[in-house]
Structure 1
Amino acid sequence: MRPPELVTLDVWTVAAHDVPRAVWRMAVDRRATRRLPGAGFAKLLGTGDGRTFTVRDADPLRWAALVAWDSAGDADRFDTSGPARAWGRIAREHVQFRLTPAGSRGRWSGRAPFGPPEHPPQDGPVASITRARLRPARAASFWRAVPPVAQELHAVPGLRCAFGIGEAPLGYQGTFSLWDSTDALREFAHRRAAHRDVMRRTPTEGWYAEELFARFGVVEVRGTLDGRTP
């Protein structure tokens, strides 16, 4: 599969009274987003704080769309598409991360949406996406392992923002994180004890039926998240 030219992650924050409208948009916009011109891969996602990867993490005020685009022009046209306009009418805050694939391994829904495994390291800010589909019989063990990793993540210098993403409240776990540099990301991924322990245990624990890790260069961040541009 040819790598996408651009990947966008749009995050919309809604007021509490608009949560039912956001849930409705999640239901009706899935097919419309996948059918947008140039959308090679598209997922509508819920979000959370990513500290336990259980229902307790879920944030009903924040929703996201992740799309891998054939071209930057296709991504530009998303802003005037039906789904984007509909979310714009209910969002009180919106941020869009514009990313270029820099390395990926694994599968998401049976596909490698961000291209071949490795590209040269990026200078400047980088982003990371992880995603896993848990084996139900191993979920409890995974949830016990997560809190120490989450504590490390939010304490690492160079982290600009991080939150959980997922296609469902349980069983489909993921994170998005934005870093000052590749070195800052590597500090967390390879040098922090709790994360190293989870990486070591993953092959033997059999937590995941499917998993993906992807790294991106950051082209631009548009808008705000919690009142600031990350």
Structure 2
Amino acid sequence: MQTVSISFFRFPPGLSRLWALGMMGAARLALPHVPGIGFWRLCGSGTGEGFTPIPNTAVYAILATWPDLETAQTQTQNASIFRRYQAKACESWTVFLAPVSARGQWAGEAPFTPEGSAPKGPLAALTRATVRPLKALRFWKRVPDISTVIGSDRNVAFKIGIGELPLLHQITFSIWPNSQSMADFARANGPHARAIQAVREGDWFREELYARFRVLGDHGTWHGQSPLSNLNIKT
């Protein structure tokens, strides 16, 4: 069963942040040589919870696919490139996921291999979009309102905005206690729903990908604890 890992790293002020910024280029040389790794991406984040166009020099992420959960757990903890990130970071957290649905493409690829049905319990959602340059300003005007709404939703266990290229290549990732709570947020008549309608009517995105995942587990902490601590995760 394909396993997807997303590793988040928080770096203290100073040279560690300069190192992390430099690794957005240098890590591209090391990641292809990690045993078992498939599709991978290096990502930065925005300020706050990541849902802004202003870069956050403290938080970076690595997304990767693996042939199974055991390989994902072993390599994200023991592979040299991941250990280097962990050594420099003041905090790190990796979540392991199994794709249950996916549509669209990521840089011309379909990186996720869905298997099984959506779980009754915790569910993760990932969206990735390439924003058309002439539409970027309109897109980012919508984002603060969406961030406020999702941030105030008590159901969401974790949420962050990350991206490969500032302003144009954007990823949102969130974890919910169940599919119903996620669907209720998506369908509610608010800034999120209005933004989706504007995207469709204005053709803002050149490429889109939407994926849902079963949450398999994690290691590490974020803000001092596991974001999954209040969820009933059954592997």
TM-score, reference length from structure 1: 0.90
Distance 1:41 1:51 in 2: 23
Check conservation: 1:10, 1:65, Cα contact below 8 A: yes
Check conservation: 1:7, 1:67, Cα contact below 8 A: yes
- Relative to structure 1, the CA distance from residue 193 to residue 16 in structure 2 (aligned partners, 3 Å threshold; closer, same or farther) is same
Q: Which stretches in structure 1 are left out of the alignment for 5+ residues?
A: none
1:61 counterpart residue number: 58
- Relative to structure 1, the CA distance from residue 51 to residue 11 in structure 2 (aligned partners, 3 Å threshold; closer, same or farther) is closer
Count how many residue pairs are aligned between Structure 1 and Structure 2.
224
Check conservation: 1:40, 1:67, Cα contact below 8 A: yes
Distance 2:90 2:37 in 1: 26
Distance 1:100 1:203 in 2: 28
Distance 1:82 1:222 in 2: 17
Tell me by how many angstroms 1:191 deviates: 2.1
Tell me by how many angstroms 1:207 deviates: 0.8
The alignment status of 1:173 with 2:197, answered yes or no, reads no
Tell me by how many angstroms 1:50 deviates: 5.3
- Relative to structure 1, the CA distance from residue 24 to residue 183 in structure 2 (aligned partners, 3 Å threshold; closer, same or farther) is same
Check conservation: 1:152, 1:192, Cα contact below 8 A: no
- Relative to structure 1, the CA distance from residue 215 to residue 195 in structure 2 (aligned partners, 3 Å threshold; closer, same or farther) is same
1:100 maps to a residue whose letter is A
- Relative to structure 1, the CA distance from residue 164 to residue 35 in structure 2 (aligned partners, 3 Å threshold; closer, same or farther) is same
Tell me by how many angstroms 1:71 deviates: 2.0
Check conservation: 1:158, 1:184, Cα contact below 8 A: yes
| Residue from 105, 109, 134 that aligns with 1:107 | 105
The alignment status of 1:136 with 2:150, answered yes or no, reads no
After superposing the two structures, state which structure 1 stretch, 142-151 or 213-222, moved more: 142-151
**DSSP 3-state at the match of 2:154:** coil
1:41 maps to a residue whose letter is F
Distance 1:68 1:50 in 2: 24
- Relative to structure 1, the CA distance from residue 47 to residue 124 in structure 2 (aligned partners, 3 Å threshold; closer, same or farther) is same
Distance 2:42 2:12 in 1: 19
**DSSP 3-state at the match of 2:185:** helix
Distance 1:69 1:149 in 2: 32
Check conservation: 2:69, 2:96, Cα contact below 8 A: no
2:230 counterpart residue number: none
| Residue from 128, 137, 159 that aligns with 2:156 | 159
Distance 1:187 1:43 in 2: 30
The alignment status of 1:182 with 2:148, answered yes or no, reads no
The alignment status of 1:205 with 2:202, answered yes or no, reads yes
**DSSP 3-state at the match of 1:154:** helix
**DSSP 3-state at the match of 1:188:** helix
- Relative to structure 1, the CA distance from residue 103 to residue 192 in structure 2 (aligned partners, 3 Å threshold; closer, same or farther) is farther
Check conservation: 1:99, 1:216, Cα contact below 8 A: yes
Distance 1:15 1:53 in 2: 20
Check conservation: 2:50, 2:162, Cα contact below 8 A: no
**DSSP 3-state at the match of 2:78:** coil
| Residue from 16, 32, 35 that aligns with 2:33 | 35
The residue correspondences of 1:87-102 to structure 2 (distance < 5 A) are 87-102=85-100
Report sequence identity in percent.
31
**Structure 1 residues 130-163: Cα deviation after superposition (integer angstroms, max 9, x where no partner):** 1111111111111122222222111223111211
Distance 2:91 2:51 in 1: 25
1:193 counterpart residue number: 190
- Relative to structure 1, the CA distance from residue 208 to residue 51 in structure 2 (aligned partners, 3 Å threshold; closer, same or farther) is same
The alignment status of 1:120 with 2:117, answered yes or no, reads yes
**DSSP 3-state at the match of 1:199:** helix
| Residue from 65, 70, 73 that aligns with 2:70 | 73
Tell me by how many angstroms 1:38 deviates: 2.1
CA RMSD in angstroms comes to: 1.8
Distance 2:221 2:51 in 1: 25
